[in-house]
Chain A
Amino acid sequence: MSEKPATVKCLVWDLDNTLWQGTLLEDDQVTLPDAVRELIVTLDSRGILQSVSSKNDYDLAWAKLEALGLAEYFVLPQIGWGPKSNSVRTIAERLKFAHGTIAFIDDQPAERAEVTFHLPDVRCYPADQLLTLAELPEFSPETVTVDSRRRRQMYQAGFEREAEQAAFSGPDEDFLRSLKLEMSIERATGEQLSRVEELTLRTSQMNATGVHYSDATLRGLLADPGHEVLVTTMADRFGPHGAVGVMLLATGADVWHLKLLATSCRVVSFGAGAAILNWLIDEAAQAGAHLVADFRRTDRNRMMEIAYRFAGFTAEPCACVAGLAEPGAPDIERLHLVPERRDPHPTLQLTAPALAADHLAARA
């Protein structure tokens, strides 16, 4: 009858008589049912973030969550005396999640009504529905990958990183260097492509071509000797960023054709796109091949155009472009570069396959 409801990306918990039984400020002892602990761990492993909105004394309530061994499972806890709709709104804003992807669970009908009144898109659940939550389709994402299992840690690392950046005074590059960024570019496997697909589903991307390549198309090219499908992952001293980018490159003898370059918006501020291009240009220079990149202007990929242009790509014509198959759409531009060797990126540690050497060897 109806479609599968949108997956919940964050569940916001009330504490007294919802998460635990009892009222912290009145009862000597509150108790945590085993089933609640299991639910929290289960949702966490599915990549659903969890937060808290509770009218309580912050220090007492947080100390109790720590004593119960649950504190680490919650991001952006809102414990205080303000309206719960404010807490839920704050959580959604900080996570950059739409209200329709937030759920709220509370034993008090008045609290649920208050949240619904101000935030009609937030889905509210009564506490007595708690034990069936894990069975509901909206709490059962279709794909669960390495990255979804680590999602909460990635967000927690992100908040620490933001706090440090706000406190940092000095040039951009010094801050980036202090993060000890690591980037790893690898030839894709099936498992990695699932992570990439999850990335494209969950986050808006900087897609340079504006052309979508399906998971099946990319999978079909994994074993093709004329194509490289490359996946980029990143980490820094706060923790992993997970899979953050994907590239599809056709490797001819004289020209390397970048058909797809997409990176997650989460890592744009670390210069991920520029770092990937820097590496690719250096490899193409070693292979003695020109570089051509497909680019279709959309209202959200200006950053990618600037990354290409600042890396030296231009729209000037070259004979190598004529040998390529026609673009799949009339509004796809082809940006071109005659590559020269590049210095390694100044602010990140890169591990990547020896693309040029491999292709020269294959041709020898």
Chain B
Amino acid sequence: MSDQPTTAPVTAESIEQALLSFLEERTKTAVPPTQDLFASGLVSSMFAMELVVHLEQHYEVAIVGADLKLDNFRTVRQMTELVLRLRDASAAVGGA
């Protein structure tokens, strides 16, 4: 799986699917979209940073300041919401 920006249309479903396969590949475990990855020990603090960078590169968003908080990364669903919100915000100001 590459970290190239995606060209397919980005929807909640596509982000969720891509994240689930990324996690499955990386942790060798299948995870439901609402599982708390930190509570279950699937994600170490190191891997958390890898996740931040993965989302930024794959979806061309910048995750900074107050958005960098654990609660935005606990589950696949929360990460999906974060990516959608950041993409909408950058589209709304006409940014690329």
* Residues of chain A whose beta carbon lies under 8 Å from any beta carbon of chain B: 169-174, 176, 268-271, 273-274, 302-303, 305-307, 309-310, 312, 314-315, 346-347
Contacts and interface: CB of A to CB of B under 8 A. Distances in A.
Contacts of B52: 306
A281 to B, nearest CB: 13
Given A309-B69, A315-B65, A271 B44 contact: yes
Contact of B46 (A271, A302, A305, A346): A271
A312 to B, nearest CB: 7
Given A176-B44, A306-B52, A347-B44, A171 B27 contact: yes
A172 B28 CA distance: 10
Contacts of B68: 305-306, 309-310
B91 interface: no
Contact of A268 (B27, B28, B46): B46
22 contacts: A169-B28, A170-B27, A170-B28, A170-B29, A171-B41, A171-B43, A172-B41, A172-B42, A172-B43, A172-B47, A173-B41, A173-B42, A173-B43, A268-B46, A302-B49, A306-B48, A306-B49, A306-B68, A307-B49, A309-B69, A310-B70, A312-B69
A176 B46 CA distance: 11
Interface string B42-80: 111111110010000000000001101110010000000
Contacts of A309: 68-70
**A contact patch SS:** helix
A271 B70 contact: no
Nearest to A278: B45
Nearest to B63: A306
A310 B67 CA distance: 10
B28 to A, nearest CB: 5
A303 B41 contact: no
B27 A271 contact: no
Contacts of A270: 46
A83 to B, nearest CB: 33
Contacts of B47: 172
B48 to A, nearest CB: 6
A310 to B, nearest CB: 5
A172 B46 CA distance: 9
Given A171-B27, A309-B69, 15 more contacts: A169-B28, A170-B27, A170-B28, A172-B27, A172-B41, A173-B43, A271-B44, A271-B45, A271-B46, A302-B49, A303-B49, A306-B49, A312-B69, A312-B70, A314-B66
Interface in B9-50: 27-29, 41-49
Given A171-B28, A172-B47, A310 B69 contact: yes
A346 B66 contact: no
A324 to B, nearest CB: 21
A170 B12 CA distance: 27
B41 A310 contact: no
